[in-house]
Amino acid sequence: MQQELVERARRGDHDAFATLADAALFRLDATARLILRDPDRAKDAVQEALVRAWRGLPTLRDPERFDAWLNRLLYRAYIDEARRLRRHRVDVELTPIDLLASDDMTSSVTDRDQLERGFSRLEPEARALIVLHHYLDLPLPEVAAVLGIPLGTAKSRLHRALQSMRAGLDADARPTADVPEGRFA
Amino acid sequence: MTQLDGFDRTLIDWLDEQAGHGMPGYLDEALARTIRTRQRPWWSSPERWLPMQSTLRFAPAPRIAWLLVALALTIALVSAALAVGSRRQPAPPFGLARNGPIAYTNGGDIVRFDPATGETTALVSGVEQDVAPYYSPDGQRFVFLRHAAGGGDVAATADADGRDIRILTAPLEDQRWWDWSRDGTRLAIISTVDGLHAITVANVDGSGSRALPLQMDADFVSWLGDSDRLLFRGRPLAGGTSGLFTVRADGTDLVPVSPDMGDDLGDYQAPAVAPDGQRVAFSAFDQAKWKSPTVGSPAGDWSGNLLQVHVLDLIKGTESVIPTAADPTSPELPVDQWSPRFSPDGTMLAFQVDRSDGTYQIAVAPSDGSAPPRPLGPSARNTAGEDASYEFSPDGTKVNARYPLEGVIWALPVDGSAGSKLPWDPSDLPTTQRLAP
């Protein structure tokens, strides 16, 4: 079904492309928001990726690879977005559209805060590695293909990124020196 | 199955929680943009792969045809003698030159327009899709991308009249950057190899090509003047940030030439080497203060990351920055300036100026930073996902610029006077032949 839609979109059928975009939109938006840490920038990146996809569809060699190709376009779009973002860099809190209200919450508020800090400290490419592999559940060879880096490089960078997050969490968890009483004004 | 530890599980749960589950509400907005966007022609694809057809087959000629062949040879010899006699003198490898004919893509063929005569001539035509011509510094040949039916994307060259076509490379994925050596005998090419940008050096006589084993993502390659060295932006696979490197054309003697600016996203963007090989211009993000020339203090004071054009003198090691223009759409804000290109004599730079309202304009400025930028031509929308391309004319009086989203090409006088829209296929930037002054 998807392959047929891709073929039609490649031939200029915009309705077919709209169906494909609708099916992919949540995944693209969630990925971009996780990596860019800013819903507005994420929206810009996703829209940019969809424009690039529509423009470039006639050039797609293998319609079966549409999802992987779209992931790659999105990655390029949010790297471009991150580049623009640097001009007015602000650390914007990510605002989830609909926070999961599960009874089976596995992470405490403290864990989430620490993860937030550790994740935000990473460069966008490292965040992309983690999101593509651990959130989208893409196998590492596909993550490497999306990022345009060799598999070995993807492995080592993912390892370093996770290590960096763990180290950050460990540091955050370390007890700080007591502040002598009476020092605060 | 991968064994997950507690940290991994916590991370996955956190990512899932952060991602949320609500459907974004901007699909219609996005589709309104796509429906206004023109799809690319299939042959402009860097990703459509077909095997290369690099040989020609000749059918056996009947005996009676030999007389005709002999006659044709005689005519060809006479024509060749006349052509040699009237051949245009090669242009100098760098410096100002005279503007010659303009070659451009026309529906998969390469066509030449000669402003001196008003004539349009097909240079390379046939069943193959031939696109993106680019003249050599001496104006004697041009390189183009050939996408043959049943073939592949290869770099090919022809002489200035479209004859003597030579296939230079095996199929290369995503050929996105070419630079001629000053003597016109070699071509440096950026393509994608195993997911990384890589440099291939091809001999223009068709005798072979070689990918340089650099162990890094290598992009934006340029020959360093008339030397045997190449300059490029590289990012080592072993880690680290992007920087400028030089290397001999055979891949040996790799030398870093830039300090580590510590910013993998924004440093050393789109470097371009001056025609004499002694300076390199690039763009980088700088923490800087900027004061609007049109808005008084304090509203006009601005601090933050500025994308600026830098010029690094490779001989002296000194670096200068091109002044930043004011943003006519938001006078209190500076603009981003990037992707510089040198004029043929190296005295001017053309670059893209990105403004706060999402539009951009081409501007020129002296390459020594002695005067503020001068905007040229119309502004255009900066959302197409494909950057503008532009280059100076050989005589340095104009910048030819391609605006991809609008699908137009403008010839923009560098003195800021009104430009003219060129009527040709906007799939590629046209190329102007350099002629001896």
Q: What is the DSSP string of A76-134?
A: HHHHHHHHHHGGG---PPP--SS----TT--S-HHHHHHHHHHHHHS-HHHHHHHIIII
In this complex, the residue of B22, B196, B385 whose CB is nearest that of residue A48 is B385
In this complex, the residue of B11, B14, B34 whose CB is nearest that of residue A51 is B34
d(CA B322, CA A11): 45
Lowest-confidence range among B43-52, B92-101, B300-309, B343-352? B43-52
pLDDT of residue A163: 82
For residue B137, the distance in angstroms to the closest alpha carbon of chain A comes to 31
Nearest residue of A to residue B288 by CA position? A87
The residue-averaged pLDDT of A12-34 equals: 92
Q: Is A123 a residue whose pLDDT tops 80? A: no
Q: Is A98 a residue whose pLDDT tops 90? A: no
Tokens of residue B233, six digits: 């932006």
Asked if A87 is an interface residue toward chain B (Cβ–Cβ < 8 A), one would say yes
Residue bearing the bigger pLDDT, B157 or B20: B157
The residue-averaged pLDDT of B197-216 equals: 92
Q: Is B340 a residue whose pLDDT tops 60? A: yes
Q: Is B276 a residue whose pLDDT tops 50? A: yes
Lowest-confidence range among A67-76, A170-179, B195-204, B345-354? A170-179
Q: What mean pLDDT, rounded, does chain A reach?
A: 73
Q: Is B17 a residue whose pLDDT tops 90? A: no
The residue-averaged pLDDT of B273-297 equals: 82
- In a mutational test of the A interface, the residue from B265, B352, B383 whose CB has the highest number of chain A CBs within 10 Å is B265
The residue-averaged pLDDT of B245-261 equals: 88
Residues of B in contact with A147 (CB under 8 A): 195
- In a mutational test of the B interface, the residue from A37, A62, A106 whose CB has the highest number of chain B CBs within 10 Å is A106
- Chain B residues 194-223 with CB within 8 Å of chain A: 194-196, 217
Q: How confident is the model at residue A27 (pLDDT cuts 50, 70, 90)?
A: very high
Q: What mean pLDDT, rounded, does chain B reach?
A: 81
Residues of A in contact with B9 (CB under 8 A): 106
**Owner of token pair 């063929």:** B109
In this complex, the residue of A34, A48, A148 whose CB is nearest that of residue B19 is A34
Q: How confident is the model at residue B242 (pLDDT cuts 50, 70, 90)?
A: confident
Taking only the tens place, the pLDDT of each residue in A57-74 is: 876 767 778 888 888 888
pLDDT of residue B388: 81
Q: Is B78 a residue whose pLDDT tops 60? A: no
Residue bearing the bigger pLDDT, B396 or B130: B396
For residue A177, the distance in angstroms to the closest alpha carbon of chain B comes to 26
pLDDT of residue B283: 86
Q: Which domains does chain A have, with CATH numbers?
A: 1-91 (1.10.1740.10), 107-175 (1.10.10.10)
Phi/psi at B267 (nearest 5 deg)? -90, 145
For residue A116, the distance in angstroms to the closest alpha carbon of chain B comes to 9
Q: How confident is the model at residue B71 (pLDDT cuts 50, 70, 90)?
A: low
Asked whether this complex has an ipTM greater than 0.90, the answer is: no
Residue bearing the bigger pLDDT, B365 or B240: B365
Taking only the tens place, the pLDDT of each residue in A127-170 is: 888 999 999 888 887 887 777 776 767 787 888 888 878 776 66
- Chain B residues 324-343 with CB within 8 Å of chain A: 336
Q: How confident is the model at residue B149 (pLDDT cuts 50, 70, 90)?
A: low
Q: Which letter does DSSP use for residue A135 in this model?
A: I
DSSP bridge pairs for B110: B105, B124
- Chain B residues 116-155 with CB within 8 Å of chain A: none
Phi/psi at A15 (nearest 5 deg)? -65, -40
pLDDT of residue B38: 63
Asked if A97 is an interface residue toward chain B (Cβ–Cβ < 8 A), one would say yes
pTM, to two decimals: 0.64
The residue-averaged pLDDT of B394-409 equals: 90
d(CA A128, CA A168): 18
pLDDT of residue A165: 82
For residue A178, the distance in angstroms to the closest alpha carbon of chain B comes to 28
Q: Is B264 a residue whose pLDDT tops 70? A: no
The residue-averaged pLDDT of B372-383 equals: 86
Residues of A in contact with B8 (CB under 8 A): 134
Q: Is A181 a residue whose pLDDT tops 60? A: no
- Chain B residues 30-69 with CB within 8 Å of chain A: 30-31, 33-35, 37-42, 44-49
Count of C-beta atoms within a 10 Å radius of residue B84: 8
For residue A125, the distance in angstroms to the closest alpha carbon of chain B comes to 9
Residues of B in contact with A9 (CB under 8 A): none
pLDDT of residue B111: 94
d(CA B254, CA B216): 11
d(CA A90, CA B416): 37
Lowest-confidence range among B39-48, B173-182, B407-416? B39-48
The residue-averaged pLDDT of A11-20 equals: 90
For residue A163, the distance in angstroms to the closest alpha carbon of chain B comes to 11
DSSP bridge pairs for B279: B313
Ramachandran area for residue B139 (φ above 0: left; ψ -120 to 50: alpha; else beta): left
Lowest-confidence range among B160-164, B236-240, B261-265, B315-319? B261-265
Asked if A38 is an interface residue toward chain B (Cβ–Cβ < 8 A), one would say no
pLDDT of residue B107: 80
Indicate yes or no: CB of B10 within 8 angstroms of CB of A47.
Answer: no
Q: Is A176 a residue whose pLDDT tops 50? A: no
Residue bearing the bigger pLDDT, B99 or B288: B99
For residue A176, the distance in angstroms to the closest alpha carbon of chain B comes to 22
B300, B294 contact by CB (below 8 A): yes
pLDDT of residue B68: 61
Asked if A122 is an interface residue toward chain B (Cβ–Cβ < 8 A), one would say no
Lowest-confidence range among B112-126, B293-307, B322-336? B293-307
pLDDT of residue A38: 81
Number of CB pairs, chain A paired with chain B, less than 8 A apart: 181
In this complex, the residue of A83, A87, A157 whose CB is nearest that of residue B304 is A87
Q: Is B72 a residue whose pLDDT tops 70? A: no
Tokens of residue B216, six digits: 């890094």
